[in-house]
Structure formats: structure tokens, C-alpha cells
A and B are shown apart, each in its own frame.
Chain A
Amino acid sequence: MAVAVSRRQFLKVGGAAAGTAAGALLGLGVDLRPKQVRAQQLRIKDAQVYPSVCPYCAVGCGTLVHVVNGQIVNIEGNPKSPINKGNLCPKGAATYQLHVNPNRLTKVLYRKPYGTQWEVVDLDWAMDRVAELVKKTRDETFVETLPNGKRVMHTTAIYSLGGATIDNEWNHIHQKLMRGLGIVRIENQARI
């Protein structure tokens, strides 16, 4: 408060000291009216807050996701996190647009063999179809033993790629499903 007063005093002194007519005018030209206070609506005032983690690099910055009426309205750094203390990089700061983005897909797209365009298909149908294809390819290419007699119980004709951006829980059940089926070409970003 003391500072505020002294700053305004400075202006008065500055105005008077200028001396010349122009200087006096200049001093008066500065708005000396009392500062205005205007209530601002904080858009996350009534939001629910969910602690989260930034999905980009492996630093693991803590974030806070603000939700109003079931919609994500803001994502920012979590000041409590000892990793980032509320800081984010530009990617982390843009996480909101990863969620709320007109370019985002919301339907399953399907392209027939030799097709020339995407079709929107039903999620359940697509899941059933993928399961069928996995079974078909696995059954056609499964190897129990190698010519040298070694038991391998695998297929190398199906390839699964990805995982470094996806939850540990997924990595676990996915590699389990793949290995359970004998699918051994399992890879993710760690190698590239």
C-alpha cells in the first residue's frame, strides 16, 4: 500500500516539476483518477479439478484438469507437483487442445481393401471385424515348432507397434494379450 501511495505522489511531483506549460499538461494528461476495480469471472471457479500427468515427454509434469458440466475447460500445471511446481512447456500447456480440438476424430473410419475412401463404421462392428482378422491371420500363420524341433508357439505375421504414449495398464494387458496369443512382434517407440 505504501508503495502505491508513493508512486502516485511521484506523478504529482513529476507533473509539477516539469514546469513548462507542456510539462504541466503532460502531468495532467496522465490518468490520476482512482483505480477502478472490476469483478472478473474466473472461468474455473466452479470447476471440478482432477490431478493428471502431462502426456507428452517423460519428465512427468503434474497437471490439473478443470471440468465444468462434464466438459474439460482448462488444463494447467499442478503447482503441488515437485517435478514441475506448476510449470509446463508449450506442449504441456497445449494439452487442452489435445482434448478439445475440431480436428479430432470421434468415429471409427474404415477403408475396404482397394477402397478409395474412408467410411464411417460402427464401433462394435469394427471391433468384431478386427477380432476376426486377428484370429484368421493367427490361425493361418501359427508355428508350434521350428524345423529344428524347437518349440516356439508363435506367429510372426502380426505386428503390434506402440505403447510409449499409452498408460502402463494398457501396455500390460496388451503385451499379455499379444504374448498370450503367440504374437511376438511387439514393439514400441523405445527403440527408435
Chain B
Amino acid sequence: MPDSFFTHSPEWRWWIVFYFFIGGIAGGAFALSALLRLFGQPGDRPISRLGYFIAFPGSIISGLLLILDLKRPERFWHMLIQSETFRPAFKWWSPISVGSWGLLAFGFFSFLAFVGALAEIGWLPRGLSGLIQGSLGAVVNVLGGVSGFFLAGYTGVLLSTTNRPLWSDTVWLGLLFLVSGFSTGAALLLLLSWGRNTPTIRWLKELDTWTLVLELVVLVILLASVGTAVLRPVLFNAWGVLLLVGVVLVGILVPILLHFRPVLGRLTVPSAAVLVLVGGFILRVVMLLSSEAV
């Protein structure tokens, strides 16, 4: 029996599934927005603002979900501050520790960007739009983008840094979640800008398609790296079917197909986006719960 089968389940269930999903979207969306801000055109701004509007609430929800998942939620601050000495608690080799700081950082930058975006559309004093413009904006975008990428990807690294079946039997999970976060972030942006057809949208569509291809490649490598000794008990069952149908078919292949063959007319893009989101969600469900079921 593989060594990972002598372990106990941490019972990271639905709170964590949603956190990983939403955190991935938020991180991905911010990263996309940052790309558009740093390297795009002024015309890309509306979409990037949309990304900020997604990212900040996403970070708040992420934090809440994470706290709700704690068995002692009132002690969530122990992640950041040592309860005995009140000094900062940071262990770079503990993904949860790093993740907590990462989420905090992401929350901070996405908040700045959120404020900046509100300023851009006139809901807040115009001066605050400097948070996402100019050199200050560049700093916010670079750091926020990096922490967004981090948020999307560390969740997989966290799972791999255990001794659980599947999770710890591969080192590709972080990458997979990162890619998936990016694609679902893009999908949500596409969905929310339903009906528009701008270069930014086309860029997003294109990007999402290639990201999905990359996701499929990473998923295949991941499964191959896990090996059948682990796959048999973990995924050679209903979970595996869900992975194939829900993620590979519905969440990846069909959206790619729709990209090249827009058979649904005006509904093609949003449909594909919805499917990508569904697939991204199912990916988290399968990756977390199939291991939990062992």
C-alpha cells in the first residue's frame, strides 16, 4: 500500500472547496487585470476594473471561508500572530502560514485596487485612482498580481505539502490549481462582460483557450505522476468519472471546442465561460474530496 494511505483525513471539505475555487478566481482575475494594466491599452481598463471588482470581494470571501473552516474560528489570528508572545507568526516552510500572509497581502492589494477602480468610475474621489494608475498603480498591480498568482497556486502546493493520498503523491497540483485559477478568473471576466466584443475580450477568450489547453496538459502529467497504485483506490471510481466528464469534457474540451466553433451564436462565449467555471469548481471538488474519501 502506498505510504500516503496510512494517514488521516484533515476533513477539508466544502468550505475549502469553495475557498480554493473562489480564491483561484479572485487571484486569477487580479492577475489578468494587472497584466492588462501593466502591459495593455487604456481600452483594456474596463475589463481590468472588472477584475478588481471581482478580486477584492473574492479575497474577503476567501478569508471568511478559511476562518469558517477552522475548528476554532475565533483563533484565526493565531495564523498571523503568535498568541503567546504577540509577535508575528511566520513559517515560510508551512504553506498555511505563508498562505495566510499571502491571502492577507492579496486582500490588501486587491482592496487598494478596488478603491482605485471605484475612484476611476467616479464613486470615490478621483485622486484615489492613482492606486491603479501610474507608478503607484504599477506597484499595486505588480504586488497584487504576484499575490494573486500566489493565491491561485499555493492552495495546490498546500495540498501537496501533506502526506495524504493523491495530494502528496504529486508535485503538479499547485501548477494545476494555478492554471485553473487563471482560466476560471478569465471565464468569470468573460461571463460578466457578456455581450461585449472588444479586443480585450478577444484576448481573454484566446488566453482562456490556451490556458485550458495548458490545464489539460498539466492534468494529464499530474495523473501520470501519481501512478496507478494511488489512482486505483482514489480515482478509479465515481470521482474519476466526475473528473473525466465534469472537468476534462465539460470544463476543458467543450469550451475549447466552443472557442473554435461558436455554434451557440451569442451564447457561445458565456456558455463556454460557465462551463469553464463549472469545470474549475468540479476540479477542486474532485481533487479535495476524492482524497478525503480514502
Q: Mark B82-111, 1 if CB is under 8 A from A, else 0.
A: 000000000001000000000000000000
The reply to whether the CB of A28 lies closer than 8 angstroms to some CB of chain B is yes
Chain A contacts with B in 27-46, Cβ cutoff 8 A = 28-29
A29 to B93, CA, bound (A): 6
Which residues from chain A contact B93 at a C-beta distance below 8 Å? 25, 28-29
Which residues from chain B contact A28 at a C-beta distance below 8 Å? 93
Closest to A25 in B: B93
Chain B contacts with A in 255-277, Cβ cutoff 8 A = none
> Nearest Cβ in chain B — how far from A46, in angstroms?
25
Q: Give how many B residues have a beta carbon under 8 Å from the other chain's beta carbons.
A: 1
Cross-chain pair count, CB within 8 angstroms: 3
A15 to B59, CA, bound (A): 37
> Nearest Cβ in chain B — how far from A40, in angstroms?
15
Q: Could you pull out 3 A-B pairs where Cβ atoms are within 8 angstroms?
A: A25-B93, A28-B93, A29-B93
> Nearest Cβ in chain A — how far from B1, in angstroms?
24
Which residues from chain B contact A29 at a C-beta distance below 8 Å? 93
> Nearest Cβ in chain B — how far from A53, in angstroms?
39
Closest to B94 in A: A29
Chain A contacts with B in 2-30, Cβ cutoff 8 A = 25, 28-29
> Nearest Cβ in chain A — how far from B87, in angstroms?
13
A191 to B153, CA, bound (A): 73
A25 to B157, CA, bound (A): 15
A29 to B95, CA, bound (A): 11
A24 to B10, CA, bound (A): 28
Chain B contacts with A in 109-151, Cβ cutoff 8 A = none
Closest to B84 in A: A38
> Nearest Cβ in chain A — how far from B93, in angstroms?
4
Closest to B171 in A: A22
> Nearest Cβ in chain B — how far from A122, in angstroms?
47
> Nearest Cβ in chain A — how far from B191, in angstroms?
39
Q: Which 3 A-B pairs have the closest CB atoms?
A: A29-B93, A28-B93, A25-B93
> Nearest Cβ in chain B — how far from A186, in angstroms?
55
> Nearest Cβ in chain B — how far from A21, in angstroms?
13
> Nearest Cβ in chain B — how far from A76, in angstroms?
29
A78 to B93, CA, bound (A): 45
A25 to B95, CA, bound (A): 13
> Nearest Cβ in chain A — how far from B228, in angstroms?
25
Q: Mark B59-97, 1 if CB is under 8 A from A, else 0.
A: 000000000000000000000000000000000010000
A29 to B91, CA, bound (A): 9
> Nearest Cβ in chain B — how far from A26, in angstroms?
9
Chain A contacts with B in 121-138, Cβ cutoff 8 A = none
Closest to A38 in B: B84
A25 to B93, CA, bound (A): 9
A25 to B171, CA, bound (A): 15
> Nearest Cβ in chain A — how far from B275, in angstroms?
37
Chain A contacts with B in 46-94, Cβ cutoff 8 A = none
> Nearest Cβ in chain A — how far from B91, in angstroms?
8
A28 to B93, CA, bound (A): 8
A29 to B98, CA, bound (A): 13
> Nearest Cβ in chain A — how far from B90, in angstroms?
13
A23 to B93, CA, bound (A): 13
Closest to A30 in B: B93
Closest to A22 in B: B171
Closest to A29 in B: B93
> Nearest Cβ in chain A — how far from B219, in angstroms?
23
> Nearest Cβ in chain B — how far from A37, in angstroms?
13
A132 to B93, CA, bound (A): 78
A29 to B157, CA, bound (A): 15
Closest to A26 in B: B93
A59 to B276, CA, bound (A): 70
A191 to B93, CA, bound (A): 67
A28 to B91, CA, bound (A): 11
